[in-house]
């Protein structure tokens, strides 16, 4: 059994760990509220954008000449995966869940004999992927410096993606991120952004007759790059809310575990203290008896 001194030291170290995790939980909770708010505020923009594009794409008559961003290159050989993770750890299964989802997709792609290219956003994703897929990672982006998620950063990622598309470096682009449902649940998502999937609500707008100024094609070719940035921005917002939520519940668990551990150690400490006292008493009494 550990000595009394050792137990004492352990108790105090667990207690200070508990203090840290508690503080981290508080910080995450405060950040979560802000992140959640901005995720909710950002939704109308991306929803509206999606709507407009759906309306536009259903109005386009000449599918073959539609912009490539909408219809794709016509091939399905090279897949670009944008894996969006956090820059910091200690947030439970947040990063691992995204990576797991992404790895499943990677395997599928590779088994089909297609070429896989990866862009990682956030340092943690890079750390987890670099061992297995270091040859596939073509770029890594991190926004450690920016405090809040902002559109400017998302635009940067979007522009990188579009530039690569225009250079014909890939045919299909998929982004991976965590969708924020609530503090306990975050759902890892894969979303294809190039070519755009429009199957969802195609029927609702077919009868509307829009006037376009300028021509549909021109609007579309201006709009689609913006939409990509918007979708990435949405993913970043969802991701940051998820990260804070995940961290909050992870830290809450850690605090509770530390509390349990302190209780257990305290009982052990008291037991061994009593044992030592009893032992001493027995020694004294048996010593007195032998006289």
Partner 1 sequence: MSEEYSLEIVNPEKSFLYKNDVTEVVVPAFEGEIGILKDHISIISFLKPGIIKVFSNSGEDSYFVNDGIIEFKNNNLSILTSLILNLKDIDKEKLSEIQKLTEEELLKPDISDQEKYLLDQKIEVLKSIN
User: Which positions are annotated as active-site residues?
Assistant: 91
Please give the size of the binding site for partner 1, defined by CB under 8 A.
29
Q: How far apart are CA 232 and CA 175, in angstroms?
A: 8
- C-alpha to C-alpha distances, 235 to 144, 178, 194, 243, 286, nearest whole angstrom: 17, 8, 15, 12, 75
Which residue of 56, 118, 172, 235 would you call a contact of partner 1, by CB under 8 A? 56
**Which of residues 64 and 211 has its CB atom nearest to partner 1 in the complex?**
211
108 binds partner 1, rule: CB under 8 A: no
Q: How far, in Å, CA of 126 to CA of 255, rounded?
A: 29
Whether the upstream peptide bond of residue 182 has omega within 30° of 0, thus cis, is no
Nearest residue to 252 (alpha-carbon basis) of 19, 25, 29: 25
As to burial, measured by CB atoms within 10 angstroms (0-12 exposed, 13-18 middle, 19+ buried), residue 153 is: buried
Q: Cα(138)–Cα(125) distance, rounded to whole angstroms?
A: 13
In the set 183, 223, 251, 258, which binds partner 1 (CB under 8 A)? Answer: 223
Q: Does 41 bind partner 1 (CB under 8 A)?
A: yes
Mask: binding to partner 1, 139-158, rule CB under 8 A, as x and -? -----------xx--xx---
In this structure, the strands spanning 186-194 and 115-121 are unpaired
CB of 191 to partner 1, least distance (A): 17
From 85-93, 123-131, 191-199, 226-234, give the range in contact with partner 1 by CB under 8 A: 226-234
Give the containing element (helix H, strand E) for 163: helix 151-166
Contacts with partner 1, 169-208, as mask; x by CB under 8 A:
---------------------------------------x
Based on CB atoms, which residue is closest to partner 1, 21 or 50? Answer: 50
Q: Which is nearer to partner 1, 49 or 141 (CB)?
A: 49
Residues that bind partner 1 (CB under 8 A): 38, 41-42, 44-46, 48-49, 51-52, 55-56, 150-151, 154-155, 208-214, 219, 222-223, 226, 230, 233
């Amino acid at each position: 059994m550990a000595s009394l001194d050792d137990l004492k030291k352990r108790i105090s170290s667990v207690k200070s760990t508990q203090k840290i995790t508690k503080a981290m939980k508080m910080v995450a909770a405060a950040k979560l509220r802000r992140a959640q708010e901005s995720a909710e505020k950002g939704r109308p923009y991306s929803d509206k954008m999606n709507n407009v594009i759906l309306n536009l794409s259903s109005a386009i008559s000449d599918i073959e000449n539609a912009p490539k961003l909408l219809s794709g290159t016509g091939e399905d050989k090279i897949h670009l995966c944008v894996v969006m993770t956090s820059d910091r750890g200690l947030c439970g299964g947040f990063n691992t869940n995204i990576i797991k989802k992404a790895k499943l997709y990677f395997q599928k792609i590779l088994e089909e004999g297609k070429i896989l290219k990866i862009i990682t956003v956030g340092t943690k994703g890079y750390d987890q992927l670099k061992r297995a897929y270091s040859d596939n990672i073509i770029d890594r982006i991190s926004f450690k410096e920016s405090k809040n998620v902002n559109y400017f950063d998302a635009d940067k990622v979007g522009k990188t993606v579009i530039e690569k598309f225009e250079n014909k470096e890939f045919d299909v682009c998929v982004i991976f991120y965590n969708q924020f449902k609530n503090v306990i649940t975050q759902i890892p998502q894969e979303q294809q952004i190039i070519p755009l999937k429009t199957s969802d609500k195609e029927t609702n707008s077919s009868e509307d007759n829009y006037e376009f100024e300028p021509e549909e094609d021109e609007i579309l070719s201006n709009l689609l790059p913006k939409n990509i940035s918007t979708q990435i921005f949405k993913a970043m917002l969802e991701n940051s809310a998820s990260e804070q939520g995940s961290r909050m519940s992870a830290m809450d668990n850690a605090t509770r575990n530390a509390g349990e551990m302190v209780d257990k150690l305290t009982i052990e400490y008291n037991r061994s203290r009593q044992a030592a006292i009893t032992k001493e008493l027995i020694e004294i009494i048996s010593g007195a008896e032998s006289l």
